Structure 1
Amino acid sequence: MTFRSSTTTARTSSEVRAVARTQTLLQGQNGIGTVRRTTLPGGLRVVTESLPSVRSATFGIWVQVGSRDETPTLNGATHYLEHLLFKGTAKRSALDISSAIDAVGGEMNAFTAKEYTCYYARVLDTDLPLAIDVVCDMLTGSLIEAEDVDAERGVILEEIAMTEDDPGDCVHDLFSKTMFGDTPLGRPVLGTVDTVNALDRARIARFYKKHYDPTHLVVAAAGNVDHDTVVRQVSRAFEKAGALSRTDAVPVAPREGRRDLRTAGRVDLLDRKTEQAHVVLGMPGLSRTDERRWALGVLSTALGGGMSSRLFQEVREKRGLAYSVYSYTSGFADCGLFGVYAGCRPSQVHDVLKICRDGLDQIASEGLSDEEIGRAVGQLSGSTVLGLEDTGALMNRIGKSELCWGTQMSVDDMLARIAAVTPDDVRAVARDVLGQRPSLSVIGPLKDKQADRLDEAVS
């Protein structure tokens, strides 16, 4: 399947550039860190961040479609499609796609999330034209052959089995189900064995045609890149597929979500013969546009974001009850999650849950100390900068920002927002979020009496 227009022929590159709209979103010093956006005919957005001091570049295409856009019978279609786009186009076979990037020492991969999908390649700066051509060809010219659908089904079923064999990973899928129930946000990104087995070529091809329109795409490149050159190369690749013929098309707005999905006080136990019990205790969090998310990030860091965090000290260092214990936040378009994870011996699960629940309640009512908040601000600031020290991370930042917020924020602005968080801000968000009644997900071999007591953690 390719993007084709039966009524309009592809325009020349000069014609495309004549109507393209380019903006400088962030102005760096001496060109370093400058972020520019060009909107091409057809509604395709191209954003770049220049970092001339490096010798690499990462190129990616973000798609505003994720498992949240699936009906119950299509659960897993977005991830299935992600696999199939690597299986071949009219121009390249699956081997041609992988060998082209391997031959220059590059990396290529993709990932599917609840609300978006991303395909990317990281290469030397001199090989960026190749990466652009290969990734754009995959996105616009995938054949989605029936035999590839059948062959890849087995691979995806193995991926589902691999996830289910890792209870520390699987428990987070269970927690989403606990919190959101049988809704798109509550269903697994990979789908289930039944839904994957039921998907066929025709249904996946329709899903591709519906969601992989240029108006739903953001092209992002970061590293030693020249914006105008990237725009020309992307334009050429999409023009060949007939994807830029709609002159009236405009990019879709950032996702707003459908409704605020919330639940509380639920307990889900998945009985597995594992060596550890894996638990997630949590509650509704904040959406990714909520201004309080900066304070919530500081709160999560202080609570369970490192070796000096309160939960790590209480659960692991003082009592030796768990090897891994941490807190985390997930923000969606209209809602979010806040969770605390721990893996421990089944006999210790109630002790761990009591410490975690008591800790959440105490912070909700009393807040954190100024010292804890100050340390968390510093830790979050440092990890934010260190996490953006490669071109892949930069591409992810500008691509996701364009797709999910429609704006760009510089690293300095991000650090300023974190530094501006006050102890009162953290205490207020702690009352709002941690003061809610939690829900609980558990995977492990709990005995009947242990299982019967799980309600204590959410009462």
Structure 2
Amino acid sequence: MTENFRLTTLPNGMRIASEQMPHLMTSAVGVWVDVGTRHEHESVNGVSHLLEHMAFKGTETRSAKDIAEAVENVGGQLNAYTSREHTAYHARILAEDLPLATEILADIVEHSTLDQTELERERKVVLEEIGQVEDTPDDLVFDLWQETAYPDQALGRSILGPPEIVGSMPRQALADHMRRHYGPEQMILVAAGQVEHERLEELGQRWFGDLQRSAVDPFVKADYRGGDLREERELEQVHLVLGLEALTCHDPDIYVLNLYSSIMGGGMSSRLFQEVREKRGLAYSVFSFVNAFPDTGTFGVYAGTGEGDLDELARVLTDELAGSTDSITEVELVRAKAQAKAGLLMGLEHCAGVCEDVARHLLTFGRRIPRDEILRRIDAVTHDDLKRVAKRLFANPVPSVTALGPCSKLLDHDKLAARLRH
């Protein structure tokens, strides 16, 4: 199903990838950079995200307003994001405007001036963004949980960075970060939709072909440690995240783990939703998640509840997780497979989803994984696989526990770990 996928490499090492969707009249195009929060030194935590903001604040030939108007004048959309591993700049446009969008993307990632006046203004915007997270406990608890799971290392730090660092980060730090990490071998130009690969390759050579290679920083392996963080706040709810070390994205069992997560907390029919919300009314929001990186991974659950229900919630969550090793049914597996396949195919019905999928695969796996291969691997998961991976998770659990709110009644870390042990 990916016979329309093409990949070439420019002489300077930059990859150009496209996936033709001939039934569309639009295209998505973006530049994905293989750098994120986990590549930052502690002294400049937040630099990747701040640089992403600054890329839109003016280049050698365009002001911030010029950049916005150039895309929106043709009905397009321009955006960006920073993750723990990657930074992306992407656009959605009509097919005939692909050359314009590609040139603008090249301009902002190669020729941003990082103007000092704009920097002082934009850092205030980012500080407001940090403040917004601080005021949103169901977001903040995940940042705190990540730090609990990976303390004193880049993977555990906030994507936005702490306000004291962002508020004083010098322009030179952004310039150095761009120089080190925005080399051609660290970037991929990806387009999907109504796109001809030869034309995209020409545009890539024209706008990125003169980029010079840069030294790639060595990869620092993550070290999951687990731990316990409880922060008392005057909130109506306790926001609780309970997680464990799990699988890397390269582990053959990663498809099994994703199906397990779907069964436990992936929707309204999931075990946790039914037991915690529908049967007991302990929480409005409860779900599970999987984070898989090349060198580490986690599985966890989130729930928010009132102070009086916290003890019961913790016991129900741990009982459901520990008890899952021997109780998952074939019916649950069939449903999880259907949900996984439907989610995959629905997400790839628009060009932006395909563009993101191509970039993620190339950055993480070095290849475009065909959809048929993914579907086969989902279908191949057996009931015994689920039991085996669940037992693997809970054989000797070292949980990461984070609670935000009136959390004094939460079981201590050792008791939670004991309840999770299979």
TM-score category of the 2 structures, normalised to the smaller one: over 0.9
Aligned to 2:197: 227
Within the candidate set 367, 377, 383, 2:337 is matched to 377
Within the candidate set 87, 107, 113, 2:77 is matched to 107
The whole-number CA distance in structure 2 between the counterparts of 1:68 and 1:289 is: 18
Query: Which 4+ runs in 1 deviate beyond 6 A?
Result: none
The whole-number CA distance in structure 2 between the counterparts of 1:363 and 1:230 is: 49
Q: Which residue identity lines up with residue 287 of structure 1 in the other structure?
A: T
Within the candidate set 425, 441, 445, 2:402 is matched to 441
Answer yes or no: is 1:420 the counterpart of 2:380: yes
Conservation of the 8 A alpha-carbon contact between 2:25 and 2:95: yes
Conservation of the 8 A alpha-carbon contact between 1:76 and 1:190: yes
Within the candidate set 372, 390, 396, 2:350 is matched to 390
The whole-number CA distance in structure 2 between the counterparts of 1:208 and 1:88 is: 15
Answer yes or no: is 1:458 the counterpart of 2:420: no
Aligned to 1:432: 392
Q: For residues 91-143 of structure 1, give each alpha carbon's deviation from its aligned partner in whole angstroms, at most 9, with x where no partner exists.
A: 21110111111111211111111111111000111111111111111111111
Within the candidate set 15, 20, 31, 1:61 is matched to 31
Answer yes or no: is 1:354 the counterpart of 2:315: yes
Q: Which residue identity lines up with residue 105 of structure 1 in the other structure?
A: G
Q: Which residue identity lines up with residue 327 of structure 1 in the other structure?
A: S
- TM-score, with normalisation over the residues of structure 1? 0.88
Within the candidate set 224, 231, 235, 1:262 is matched to 224
The whole-number CA distance in structure 2 between the counterparts of 1:422 and 1:452 is: 35
The whole-number CA distance in structure 1 between the counterparts of 2:9 and 2:342 is: 33
Kindly state the Cα deviation for residue 437 of structure 1 after the two structures are TM-superposed. 3.2
SS in 2 for 1:341: strand
The whole-number CA distance in structure 2 between the counterparts of 1:281 and 1:93 is: 45
Answer yes or no: is 1:289 the counterpart of 2:246: no
SS in 2 for 1:458: helix
Answer yes or no: is 1:308 the counterpart of 2:269: yes
Aligned to 1:72: 42
Q: For residues 185-207 of structure 1, give each alpha carbon's deviation from its aligned partner in whole angstroms, at most 9, with x where no partner exists.
A: 11101000111123110111111
The whole-number CA distance in structure 2 between the counterparts of 1:286 and 1:417 is: 16
Answer yes or no: is 1:133 the counterpart of 2:93: no
Conservation of the 8 A alpha-carbon contact between 1:278 and 1:444: yes
Aligned to 2:64: 94
Conservation of the 8 A alpha-carbon contact between 1:367 and 1:430: no
Q: For residues 389-424 of structure 1, give each alpha carbon's deviation from its aligned partner in whole angstroms, at most 9, with x where no partner exists.
A: 211110001011111110111212111111111111
Within the candidate set 338, 342, 351, 2:299 is matched to 338
Within the candidate set 174, 193, 197, 1:204 is matched to 174
Q: Which residue identity lines up with residue 92 of structure 2 in the other structure?
A: R
Within the candidate set 277, 280, 287, 2:241 is matched to 280
The whole-number CA distance in structure 1 between the counterparts of 2:261 and 2:380 is: 16
Within the candidate set 346, 367, 375, 1:407 is matched to 367
Within the candidate set 261, 283, 286, 1:322 is matched to 283
Conservation of the 8 A alpha-carbon contact between 2:60 and 2:113: yes
Q: Which residue identity lines up with residue 398 of structure 1 in the other structure?
A: V
Conservation of the 8 A alpha-carbon contact between 2:290 and 2:297: yes
Kindly state the Cα deviation for residue 457 of structure 1 after the two structures are TM-superposed. 2.4
The whole-number CA distance in structure 2 between the counterparts of 1:154 and 1:352 is: 39
Kindly state the Cα deviation for residue 271 of structure 1 after the two structures are TM-superposed. 1.8
Conservation of the 8 A alpha-carbon contact between 1:256 and 1:333: no
Q: Which residue identity lines up with residue 117 of structure 1 in the other structure?
A: T
Q: For residues 257-289 of structure 1, give each alpha carbon's deviation from its aligned partner in whole angstroms, at most 9, with x where no partner exists.
A: 53351224x221122222211111110111111
SS in 2 for 1:198: coil
Kindly state the Cα deviation for residue 70 of structure 1 after the two structures are TM-superposed. 0.7
Give the fraction of aligned pairs with identical amino acids, expressed as a percent.
38
The whole-number CA distance in structure 2 between the counterparts of 1:313 and 1:362 is: 15
Counterparts of residues 122-271 of structure 1 (less than 5 Å): 122-239=92-209, 242-243=210-211, 257-264=219-226, 266-271=227-232
Kindly state the Cα deviation for residue 453 of structure 1 after the two structures are TM-superposed. 4.7
The whole-number CA distance in structure 1 between the counterparts of 2:236 and 2:343 is: 32
Conservation of the 8 A alpha-carbon contact between 2:314 and 2:411: no
Q: For residues 146-165 of structure 1, give each alpha carbon's deviation from its aligned partner in whole angstroms, at most 9, with x where no partner exists.
A: 11221111011000001111
Q: For residues 325-371 of structure 1, give each alpha carbon's deviation from its aligned partner in whole angstroms, at most 9, with x where no partner exists.
A: 1000001120011110111112211111111111111113x141111
Conservation of the 8 A alpha-carbon contact between 1:439 and 1:458: no
